[in-house]
Structure 1
């Protein structure tokens, strides 16, 4: 099979690798869609990061947002069968620690924890070996691209929104209108939030967010007052998907008194120069949210047909596996929607 390795220094390496065989409790998937995540760009594609254990890339096949079709099952696999269509929760945990028992394999504390595309082979390949327990069945309504988008980006956005209790009582602001921000806006609308405004420095991404219906209006970073006014005087919930220090500051500035700010974008710092007038006196709640649980991801997949929502609408470009280098270069430019690899 072919597989894409990320050696760092903004490059890709397409290699011929042996076809894997499923072991006990495992399934073999034929890759049908594998999308590119901003964390791959930030921590592997550019830097080959070796710091935080969760981001210790071990030279495996990249891609932690896969969806595929089961083509073989290993001994002891009891839930899935050949022909089933699945997406993959992208962290395989030990299954025994408190986080795993609660469904948050992302926070698994065991040395056995391995993220697809980071510490074990991921989805940028013809075939993917997955643990059966990490796979989520796709309803007939959902496409493989839908599943790939849910596997990280939409799941991450959904977790942040439900942690903030987002509902029809809330005006929603989304800072950073990349793929996760688009997901937050679309899902926020399905949860009832109105109005929804976005903030992003890229005119292309602002235009895309409005065109897709992810937000009702989009503004540049220097238009905080206009964005607050569009929310009726401030948002009840602001989700920072930018992962930047200015973006986090903007999210705090966008919420009204007793508002909730959710931080889902990875990396960088957050500086609050005046804590009392900025956070304490207006009673702002700040919520950190890292990916999601497998149960919430399963819940999200189940809701898609009822919401008539295809996450693939945020995919702006698809490339065959052989053109992975072009796909990563476009994703790295930061002006498009979601980028996907397909067979």
Structure 2
């Protein structure tokens, strides 16, 4: 079969002929419907080196950690899963027996350091291929929903959902405000999820006018970039600040904007993994304002994300590529030429 393989640090991946996988005990073989291209993939093949980056992500392996597909074959011991049915794949794979894994939060596996990989497409062969073998436990049924467009939900949907769900206590009640910084794939879904889960007024900001326009169509009030961003955001809240801020970029200026915009007892969640730093001091932030980070989410939450998708309350914006064009999808992602999530559909739309 054909697959997009990460085989060398600080080099673009390549499209290769590789052996079709076989499902092991407790696994299923999926005919891949869609595989999302994520900036995390670019970090793996452009930024990591032998000395820098998780040991579990050493080359080579097939990329693609946002995956969906149709069940092709069942491994030994697998029951209750229908051949031909469509599923979304929960990417993280932990040890399966620690406290975090037992609650479906493989992202925070207590034995991650001893695992040979972090997720499908992150150390273990992923879904940028015609077929993918995954643990049956990691499947979330899609029913009759479109599996190709659903693929990004396994990260670009789950990651903002987890961050927003943690912040729901500060958004409960009337007169609440939420701020989304960065309106790429995660930020756009973040706006939709906030509208679906809360009654808060959603404020969104980005430097791209088309991204802000799409956020407005989803129900957000937008504020353009510029030196007066924080002032403009606070004015929308009557001066008191935002109850919950979600930074989907994670560079130093966006973290500062988040902390300059947050209200007393508010919460700032940095979701973007850009390595930004923030110079905190006691008198420089509102009292009891929390600053935290999150990473991905739980398999239970992915079931909840799929429920929102099936109900039509969230809709990922996708641009479909054939497998032959997968490398072009990554090129466009790196160049900032995409206005939607690139999804590779190896078997067509």
TM over 0.5: yes
2:178/2:203 contact within 8 Å kept: yes
User: Which residue number in structure 2 is paired with residue 136 of structure 1?
Assistant: 140
Q: 1:249 to 1:10 in 2, by over 3 A?
A: farther
* 1:128-153 CA-partner distances (Å, limit 9, x unpaired): 0111011111132x321343121011
Between the aligned partners of 2:289 and 2:236, the Cα distance in structure 1 is 20
Shift of 1:201: 2.4
The residue aligned with 2:5 is: 5
Equivalent position SS for 1:297:
helix
For 2:291, which of 286, 291, 297 is the aligned residue? 286
Partners of 1:57 and 1:293 in 2: CA distance: 25
**2:28 alignment partner in structure 1:** 27
Q: Does 1:268 align with 2:275?
A: yes
Of 144, 150, 153, which residue of structure 1 is paired with 2:153? 150
Residue aligning to 2:44: 44
- Check 1:339–1:257 CA distance in 2 against 1; reply closer, same or farther (3 A cut): same
State which of 149, 161, 172 in structure 1 corresponds to 2:178: 172
**Aligned position for 1:324:** 326
The CA distance in 1 between the partners of 2:56 and 2:103, in whole Å, is 22
Residues 179 and 21 of structure 1, relative CA distance in 2, 3 Å threshold:
same
Whole-angstrom distance in 2 between the partners of 1:215 and 1:328: 29
- Corresponding position of 2:122: 118
Q: What SS is found at the alignment partner of 2:155?
A: helix
Q: Which of residues 210, 214, 226 is equivalent to 1:208?
A: 214
Aligned equivalent of 1:220, options 220, 225, 239: 225
- Kindly indicate whether the alpha-carbon contact (under 8 Å) linking 2:23 and 2:29 is maintained by their aligned counterparts in 1: yes
When residues 193 and 244 of structure 1 are mapped into structure 2, their CA distance, relative to the original with a 3 A threshold, is: farther
> 1 CA distance for matches of 2:310 and 2:150?
13
After the TM superposition, which residues 77-116 of structure 1 pair with which residues of structure 2 at under 5 Å, given as runs? Answer: 77-110=78-111, 111-112=114-115, 113-116=117-120
* Residues 199 and 221, structure 1, Cα contact 8 Å, conserved in 2: no
TM value normalised by structure 1:
0.91
Aligned partners of 2:75 and 2:235: how far apart in 1?
Answer: 57
- Using the TM superposition, give the Cα deviation of residue 272 of structure 1 relative to its aligned residue in structure 2, in angstroms: 2.2
For residue 69 of structure 2, what is the aligned residue in structure 1?
A: 68
- CA 1:49–1:200 in 2, change beyond 3 Å: closer, same or farther? farther
Instruction: Name the stretch that deviates more: 297-306 or 147-156.
Output: 297-306
Q: Structure 2: which 5+ residue stretches go unaligned?
A: none
Aligned-pair distance for 1:49? Answer: 4.4
Shift of 1:107: 1.4
Question: In structure 1, what is the equivalent of residue 263 of structure 2?
Answer: 256
Question: May I ask how many residue pairs the two structures share in their alignment?
Answer: 335
Q: Which runs of 5+ in 1 are unaligned?
A: none
TM-score scaled by structure 2? 0.89
Q: Distance in 1 between matches of 2:143 and 2:225?
A: 38
| DSSP-derived class of the 1:238 partner | strand
